[in-house]
Structure 1
Amino acid sequence: MEISATYIGTIANQKLMLEQAGAVSGITSRGIFLHLKSGWMIFLSSEGYKGPLTINLQDDPQGLQALERGTPVQTQAGHLHFPAAGLSIHTSEAARWKTPPKPLTMLSAEKRKTQLITLARQVLVARKADGLCALLAILLDLINDFSNSDLLEFQITPKVKLLQQAIVSYQAAQVATALEPFLGLGAGLTPSGDDLVIGLMLALNRWGKLLKPALEIEELNRCVVQMAYSRTTTLSANLIECATLGQADERLVSALDGLLSGQPGLDICAANLLTWGNSSGCDALVGMVLAIA
């Protein structure tokens, strides 16, 4: 069976230019993860959401049902071949997707704070007990709005406070040290702590020159990427590296830009965050809050 891709993320496209072997490493209801010999993960998606490591496939291809964990794949430019499954995926005609340029203007600090609080409240109503989402209430002084015990007794709070202090110090080494406890924190392919790091690094690399102009972001990028590859999952480390390049799933980028520019609206921002994993979008929002507030 042959399948054509509709979109391919630019980083995924770069990694697939090399002829290399790999294998299916994970299967979810939303798609399939491939682990390439180069150390990068590629996501074959049956959904329409685009991202730097995502290959979007037409409709919901039946051929993917033949794949299972460990199924080998061979890649070359414009082509993925699964010999054992008799399946080929062609990407040469797929549209290349990359994170679009950021909006030209940013809201005032007062309006950004209002945006953060409004969006956090929307997200907390849906996800307050999931992942690190309760930190939104702590960071934005919304404890009285959500006074149940899962918000009041959060053991990670002191580490978040240290991270806050490091960010306002504008010292890259201090920020990297404060981020270290979050790498690999939690369960799954992308633990909650990693999602927080992704949100923070995306915000700093996309908007950092306006938000934190004195912070040595390139130095921070180098430190965080190096730590990520030794402390967390391959997928998380890949996504963190993408974030340091200003690249991320379009839902995260849209939510971040909405917070800072006012477009898109907050209802769309909330919907985007709530559809990115179970708690991943909310955890990423915590990282964005740390960068913006």
Structure 2
Amino acid sequence: MRNAAALAAVMLAMAGMRSAAQAPDASESPAPLIQRGGTVAVKVANYDAARTQVMESARMQGAELLEAKTVVNPKGAKNGWISFSLPAERVGAFLPVAYGLGKLYSEHMTATNNDSEHDMLARRVVSLQQHETRLGSVLQSPRRMRGSDILYLQERLFRANVDEGVLRQQRIDLERNSRVSTVTVEMFEPGAVPVTTDVVHIDLRQWFAASALRAREGFGRQLARAATVGAYALVYAPIWVPLLLITLLLLAWLWRRRQILLNLLHSAWLQIARLARLFWEYRNRRIEFGG
């Protein structure tokens, strides 16, 4: 018990030191956490020269290369894209260079405000700190507890500590993302397919193999359904076979006596029509004589 209390005290002390150093301050009003990014597609006359110009301009603005790709079609025309991560305040100086590469084909810019998520994470950090304090007070209490209860409380305290660290890292990531922007420059030469269009090449052998596989799977499903229906029919044969025979015999008997049944139905219909006519005449007479 003393060891558990000592361990809890150490964990609480570490959590308190970290909380004092990194506790989120709700009274501060920092700048908005806005994550920006965008894509610019440009039709260029010379892909290699435009790519070199973009890379040089990005280097001058302190950008980091994230991804780059170049595709050459059978006619020799080139297209591709380059993605950069650069400081948010440098985007305004970098975009004019991208616009000046050639004819603007398309542009898409985004801006996401992460203030709400940042504040929500701060509130969750405070809640976890309070939860850690409650768990530590239970561990340090003088009352007797079983060993399993002590281990459970220690595990919950450790989990709360780990979750608090994850939430703090998420807040740091949001702050970091607001300071950098991701910009993608897409370029294509005349006669090349724009990079925003995906060209799908069909392999007939793979297509036929996939079609044959789907056909076999469909046939297997239908065969399994037929086997299931047959099994149900065999299991419940003592019930539905006699009912089927009785139904067939009844239909055969009615078919042999169909003329008699038709005559009976005709007579019944005439009687119903006669009764309806009598009722209608009686009703009209009552109306004529006032009641």
Measured against the shorter chain, the TM-score band is under 0.3
What's the TM-score once normalised by structure 1's chain length?
A: 0.17
What's the TM-score once normalised by structure 2's chain length?
A: 0.17
Task: Looking at secondary structure, tell me which structure has more helix per residue.
Answer: 2
